[in-house]
């Protein structure tokens, strides 16, 4: 599949945004924990006027909840899925004063801009990329961050030594047995998306991607009980 076809397939999958809202509402992918850790990590920056850049922001639900308890002054969200961005616009109304939502591929030059942010967020989006492309994305985000800024990544994390194939099969089996809000067709579409699009990394893998991209400190803040998902933080400064 070419890169353009790949983008179109991802876009088509997420255009049915309702299913992802169900995932968030039922905490299937631990958005409650994401909100808790994102709040703590952004608070730790102790900035009066906090600015955040989010790639693959979807409907910006997590950051909209974070912004209810800490003050975020500026937010730029980038996503290829127009319907998700419509929800993002609504979620962010009255919680962040300066919001810019960009419909576009996060790899295209134009979707980034010269403004430097305090924090970057990359949630459940980087696993679509092969390791080399993850390094190039992490590096690009680092250049958009203040020297003492932070990159928050929540994503798929394999156990050490587990192959991506075994991890994906184990994950899909968990979704099929536990995500009971979905019918057979929806689960089949999740299986198809996960098995063809996802490139998970171990915690050591994510750490070395960050190191190669110029980050010098890493922390694994959370892992779910099934060892599928995790919340990580990376800093440029030691």
Residues contributing to the site for ligand SAM (CB under 6 A)? 7, 10, 14, 56-58, 62, 78-81, 84, 105-107, 123-125, 128
Is residue 186 within 8 A of residue 19, CB to CB? The reply is yes
Burial of residue 53, with CB atoms counted within 10 A of its CB: 0-12 exposed, 13-18 middle, 19 or more buried: buried
Report the residue number, 14 or 112, with the smaller CB distance to ligand SAM: 14
* Closer residue to ligand SAM (CB): 14 or 182: 14
CB of 118 to ligand SAM, least distance (A): 18
- Least distance from ligand SAM to the Cβ atom of residue 230, Å: 13
Q: How far is it, in rounded angstroms, from Cα 170 to Cα 226? A: 9
Residue 154 phi/psi, 5-degree rounding, is: -120, 135
Q: Which two tokens stand for residue 78?
A: 């980038």
Please compute, for residue 235, the number of CA atoms within 13 A of its CA located in the half-sphere on the CB side.
12
For ligand SAM, the closer of residues 70 and 133 by Cβ is: 133
Question: 3 or 49: whose CB is closer to ligand SAM?
Answer: 3
Least gap, CB of 107 to ligand SAM (angstroms): 6
Q: How far is the CB of 48 from ligand SAM (least distance, A)?
A: 26
Q: What string of H, E and C letters represents the secondary structure of 51-72?
A: EEEEECCCCCHHHHHHCCCCCE
We find the least distance from the C-beta atom of residue 10 to ligand SAM, in angstroms, to be: 5
The residue (of 124 and 215) whose beta carbon lies closer to ligand SAM is 124
């Amino acid at each position: 599949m070419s890169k353009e076809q790949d983008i179109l397939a991802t876009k088509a999958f997420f255009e049915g945004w309702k299913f992802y809202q169900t995932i968030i509402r039922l905490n299937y992918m631990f958005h409650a924990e994401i909100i808790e850790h994102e709040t703590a990590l952004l608070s730790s920056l102790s900035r009066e006027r906090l600015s955040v850049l989010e790639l693959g922001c979807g409907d910006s639900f997590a950051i909209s909840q974070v912004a209810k308890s800490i003050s975020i002054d500026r937010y730029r969200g980038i996503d290829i899925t127009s319907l998700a961005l419509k929800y993002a616009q609504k979620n962010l109304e009255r919680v962040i004063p300066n919001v810019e939502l960009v419909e576009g591929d996060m790899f295209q030059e134009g979707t980034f801009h010269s403004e430097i942010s305090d924090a970057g967020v990359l949630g459940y989006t980087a696993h679509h990329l092969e390791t080399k492309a993850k390094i190039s994305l992490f590096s690009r985000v680092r250049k958009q961050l203040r020297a003492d800024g932070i990159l928050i990544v929540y994503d798929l994390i394999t156990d050490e030594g587990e192959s991506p194939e075994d991890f994906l099969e184990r994950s899909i089996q968990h979704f099929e047995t536990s995500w009971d809000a979905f019918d057979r067709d929806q689960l089949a579409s999740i299986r198809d998306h996960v098995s063809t699009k996802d490139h998970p990394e171990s915690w050591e893998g994510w750490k070395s991607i960050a190191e190669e991209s110029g980050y010098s400190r890493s922390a694994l803040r959370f892992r779910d009980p099934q060892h599928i998902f995790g919340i990580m933080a990376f800093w440029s400064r030691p």
